[in-house]
Amino acid sequence: MSVPFAFIAVVIIWSTTPLAIKWSSINGNFLFGVSSRMILGGILALIAVYIFKLSFRMTPRNRLAYLASGLGIYGAMLFGYWGSLYIPSGWVSVIFGTSPVLTGILAWLFLDEKLSRFQILGLLLGFSGLAIIFLQSSQMTDDASLGVGLIILGVISQTSTAVWIKKINTQQHGLVMTAGGLWVSIPLFLLTYLLVSEPIPSLEEIPLQVAGSIVYLAIFGSLIGFSLYYFLIHKVEASTVSLITLITPVTALLLGMWLNNEAITVHIIWGTACILLGLSCFQWGDKFLKHN
């Protein structure tokens, strides 16, 4: 597989995922959408593991890594789907785009990794961008504030478990980690569904757009997207992969505007630009200084 194809595919998948998440809920029943996606994605992941002749090594360290991955998937997806009910899909991508910055903070706190001056500047710019978007926006209603808070919880879940997995330092294949994490998360989603007592819709009640979004997210968002991402990690420099987090917030905002009639205000433009500048400083500021 060519690296440019994989890079473009991941950008497209990550750009369309927030909109597909928004479309996959039926009358606010986001638990059906996320649970269906996880089950279908888990089945497909097991099939892929079998086809590629990979194996689950069930050492204590690997089991702990599967648990961490599953908890991360559960938290990120639960809060991500829930929050997407209240805010535009483009906002979801912008907030999740700050995950490298938050990962850096957590790595500094728990892995003793140092933060440089440029990384601290990136942190300040990133949070300033969020403040510009969400504190100054006329769209910031009480429901939107709830949605933003939920998405932030999702980002915290994703990044904290990523740092946890790094600390565990298992050597499992990325596809195996994905499959293991999905199957840890599935019982948690089913238990949540039972506790909330949401009705299970019949096939006739599921619109084509909802069904298509769930299938798309299971195949591309969960399985192919993760696999291509891990492929890129092994083939190119981490700084190149990090470009994806700079591109997808912009493309997701544009897709939300074109396909879902989501408004892009001046505050959103300036706030997003500030976040992207912060991510650039965080990822490449020190390298730029060394080369000059």
- pLDDT tens digits, one per residue of 71-82: 999 999 999 999
Cα distance between residue 81 and residue 213, in whole Å: 13
Q: Where does the chain show beta strands of DSSP type E?
A: none
Q: What is the pLDDT of residue 80?
A: 93
pLDDT range class, residue 275, cuts 50, 70, 90? confident
Mean pLDDT of the 83-91 span: 89
Per-residue pLDDT tens for 195-227? 987 788 888 888 899 999 999 999 998 888 877
More reliable by pLDDT, 111 or 32: 32
**Whether residue 44 has pLDDT greater than 60:** yes
- Which distant-in-sequence residues (6+ apart) come within 8 Å of 186 by Cβ? 35, 38, 39, 42
Dihedral (Cα; 213, 29, 15, 228), 10-degree rounding: -70
Would the pLDDT of 283 be above 90?
no
Whether the CB-CB separation of 25 and 191 falls below 8 Å is answered with: no
Are the C-beta atoms of 41 and 182 separated by less than 8 Å? yes
How does pLDDT run across 109-151, given as a tens digit for each residue? 776 777 788 878 888 888 888 788 777 655 667 788 899 899 9
pLDDT at 38: 94
The Cα–Cα gap between 67 and 61 comes to 10
Percentage of the chain with pLDDT > 90?
Answer: 26
Residue 265: which pLDDT band, with cuts at 50, 70 and 90?
A: confident
Q: For residue range 145-180, what is the model confidence (pLDDT) as tens digits?
A: 899 899 999 989 988 887 787 778 777 777 888 899
CB 71 within 8 A of CB 180: no
For residue 120, give the nearest of 288, 272, 286 by alpha carbon: 286
**Has residue 20 got a pLDDT over 90?**
yes
Q: Which of 16, 63, 48 is nearest to 184 (CA)?
A: 63
pLDDT at 109: 78
> Mean pLDDT score of the chain, rounded to an integer?
84
End-to-end CA distance of the chain: 35
pLDDT at 262: 85
What average pLDDT does the segment 181-205 reach? 89
What average pLDDT does range 260-288 have in this prediction?
80
Model's pTM, two decimal places? 0.85
